[in-house]
Chain A
């Protein structure tokens, strides 16, 4: 703590108000020491909390790496179980991104550059509204309404696009597929990506845009040559945040897709790759301690994985800013 304070004081030279205050009135005041102590403790608590997540999941989960093979859902070993699950987790998230990103960018552009203001403001509100819908409601809607509705689309895809590995096979007759789940997932992450993209688009310096238009650029050329280059790192971070959310989403997938622990690209069939989160949600309720520790161990893997993805996202964004 002393070291931190010294650093803060050191910063006073750079004109930082915070440092200056410590220098002038911070020392000796009991109130200041106590208040500062609380602030530091709260911040440190976050560190502790994250460490605790790893530790407690570890204590409960590590036995799950090696229990009797009957607890690995017929996959024989922990790796045999977790590799397909991890694959499916990434696969579902990437599918959702493929659907969501073009829409999100387009809607963000719509709000920031295309729509008249009196439309743009309510649209922005409506998209934010989408973010507030609880995931279980999305799951309910996807399972009860969207899935059955998409059955003909499944048949069409299997008939006409079977040359793609995603659609090559016997299509599902009830819409309980990864395809439906990915669409719902896309709708769920759309508001996050949209709202961040919208903000970075709106921050494009007006001068850049006007200069482009003055040179005779059409609106699209202005967006392409003035807005996008400026917003690139912000867009990357938006996509990564969406990815993070999609990786951890549980209920929508658990309620919609018919699961199977399998590595497969086929998304419109009856056996859909099961994600880690959905696997936990469906398996936890009837679990012996051994089975539970396997589930917690898969949760630990999911946590470590999303941690890496998020850290990578921050790194990319930081690098983008530094340029």
Chain B
């Protein structure tokens, strides 16, 4: 879209226009103004704000004087859009900087291989138990969600098209996307309180809670991918007399596998950082615990961050940032995997 810039030619034909490079002139003036306010002691943030405001308002103002109202509005909006972008990346950069800078200070080989068992005072502890807990709990969630999610999507696309059940399921999946994560945790907690006993908090409960959050994303992404599989493929298989289920497993799924795997990995990366449901459903535990089925709490990285922060000690805060970095790397790695898988298997549908 951006390559068609007709507005410039249009104005040239009809009336006076700003000189070429006008935006640079304004930018320099705005920067000077910003610099001036910095000298006058407005602080970096203040100076940037003054400079930015001067540009966003000054450029359209000039256009209003030389050109016309419409052109000025256009330039104002353009300035605002760019500003919005600039403002929105600030928290992201700030956040990533803090996680990396303060996280790396905490990370050491011991931090990654120790648990918090019998760790008191300034002794070295670690989040190995939490890391394993996260892998196990998320693994359980994935084991539950992937088959259910993919089969549901298959039903919706291949079998149920237009049926009342399919419509209801589509609606419910949409609604499920909006389940507050803490409600998922409470559900798992309530369920196992009744099934196992009061106050049950264990790894499997966390897995069930997360799967409730994961299923809709898996269904959604798989559905989108199955929709992309051209009907010609299916028709060709049917014409050869291939049974429907074999068509789906041998033709449709393999064609869509790249997108499905990408969607699944992304959905894992969405739930791996969930805190509230795990806080409620799997609890916290300073010890190593690899048995998700035993009635004993299982630590996870997000909960580790939260509990370390509540220690109210300098070490606790440091460990919390360390945990944040580990979690961040995990999530980024999953996103990267999803992207790589996505490009390798990218469907060639001419889109």
Complex A–B touching at CB under 8 A:
yes
- The complex places the Cα of A312 from the Cα of B280 at a distance, in Å, of 29
Asked if A84 is at the interface of the complex by the 8 Å CB criterion, the answer is no
Q: Are B275 and A241 in contact (CB under 8 A)?
A: no
Residue of A11, A26, A187, A250 with most partner-chain B CB within 10 A: A250
Residues facing B in A217-273 (CB within 8 A) are 217-221, 223, 241, 244-245, 247-251, 254-255
Other-chain contact of B247, A11, A21, A45, A126 (Cβ < 8 Å): A21
Residue of B71, B177, B180 with most partner-chain A CB within 10 A: B180
Asked if B57 is at the interface of the complex by the 8 Å CB criterion, the answer is no
Nearest CB of B to A323, in Å:
19
Q: Are B7 and A303 in contact (CB under 8 A)?
A: no
Q: Are A32 and B245 in contact (CB under 8 A)?
A: yes
Chain B 306-334 interface mask (CB, 8 Å, partner A; 1/0)? 10010000000100110010011001100
Q: Are A129 and B335 in contact (CB under 8 A)?
A: yes
Nearest CB of B to A184, in Å:
8
Residues of A within 8 A of B81 (CB): 106-107, 109-110, 114
* A134 touching B302 in the complex, CB below 8 Å, given contacts A17-B238, A43-B166, A187-B91: yes
Q: Are A35 and B178 in contact (CB under 8 A)?
A: no
Q: Are A59 and B194 in contact (CB under 8 A)?
A: yes
Other-chain contact of B98, A106, A139, A145 (Cβ < 8 Å): A145
Chain B 274-311 interface mask (CB, 8 Å, partner A; 1/0)? 11100110000000000000000000001001100100
- The complex places the Cα of A138 from the Cα of B332 at a distance, in Å, of 15
* A310 touching B180 in the complex, CB below 8 Å, given contacts A60-B190, A134-B274, A136-B302: no
- The complex places the Cα of A303 from the Cα of B309 at a distance, in Å, of 28
Residue of B158, B164, B242 with most partner-chain A CB within 10 A: B158
Q: Are A42 and B148 in contact (CB under 8 A)?
A: yes
Nearest CB of B to A280, in Å:
5
Nearest CB of B to A174, in Å:
15
Q: Are A250 and B275 in contact (CB under 8 A)?
A: yes
Q: Are B280 and A136 in contact (CB under 8 A)?
A: no
- 17 A-B contact pairs sorted by A residue (CB < 8 Å): A16-B161, A32-B245, A42-B150, A57-B186, A103-B84, A107-B84, A110-B81, A132-B273, A133-B328, A134-B275, A146-B91, A218-B70, A248-B181, A299-B182, A309-B178, A311-B171, A314-B175
Q: Are A213 and B4 in contact (CB under 8 A)?
A: yes
Q: Are B244 and A21 in contact (CB under 8 A)?
A: yes
Residues facing A in B237-277 (CB within 8 A) are 238, 241-249, 269-270, 272-276
Residues of B within 8 A of A (CB): 1-2, 4-7, 10, 70-71, 73-74, 77-78, 80-85, 87-89, 91-92, 94-95, 98-99, 147-152, 154-166, 168-169, 171-184, 186-187, 189-191, 193-194, 198, 212, 215, 219, 231, 234-235, 238, 241-249, 269-270, 272-276, 279-280, 302, 305-306, 309, 317, 320-321, 324, 327-328, 331-332, 335
Q: Are A4 and B160 in contact (CB under 8 A)?
A: yes
Binding site secondary structure of chain A:
helix
Return the chain A residue nearest B175 by Cβ: A310
Other-chain contact of B82, A57, A110, A112, A220 (Cβ < 8 Å): A110
- The complex places the Cα of A145 from the Cα of B324 at a distance, in Å, of 14
Residues of A within 8 A of B272 (CB): 134
Residues of A within 8 A of B6 (CB): 213-214, 216
Residues of B within 8 A of A210 (CB): 4
Residues of A within 8 A of B2 (CB): 113-117
Nearest CB of A to B219, in Å:
8
Asked if A38 is at the interface of the complex by the 8 Å CB criterion, the answer is yes
Sample of 16 further A-B pairs with CB below 8 A, known A248-B178, A248-B181, A289-B198:
A4-B165, A17-B234, A21-B238, A21-B244, A24-B241, A40-B165, A42-B152, A49-B215, A114-B82, A126-B92, A129-B332, A135-B273, A136-B302, A248-B179, A251-B276, A251-B306
Return the chain B residue nearest A303 by Cβ: B183
Q: Are A134 and B327 in contact (CB under 8 A)?
A: yes
Q: Are B194 and A57 in contact (CB under 8 A)?
A: no
Residues of B within 8 A of A79 (CB): none
Residues of B within 8 A of A35 (CB): 244-245, 248-249
Chain A 24-44 interface mask (CB, 8 Å, partner B; 1/0)? 111001011011101111111
Q: Are A114 and B320 in contact (CB under 8 A)?
A: no
Nearest CB of A to B184, in Å:
8
Nearest CB of A to B105, in Å:
14
Return the chain A residue nearest B70 by Cβ: A218
Q: Are B335 and A132 in contact (CB under 8 A)?
A: yes
- The complex places the Cα of A111 from the Cα of B183 at a distance, in Å, of 35
Q: Are A46 and B176 in contact (CB under 8 A)?
A: yes
Residues of B within 8 A of A78 (CB): none
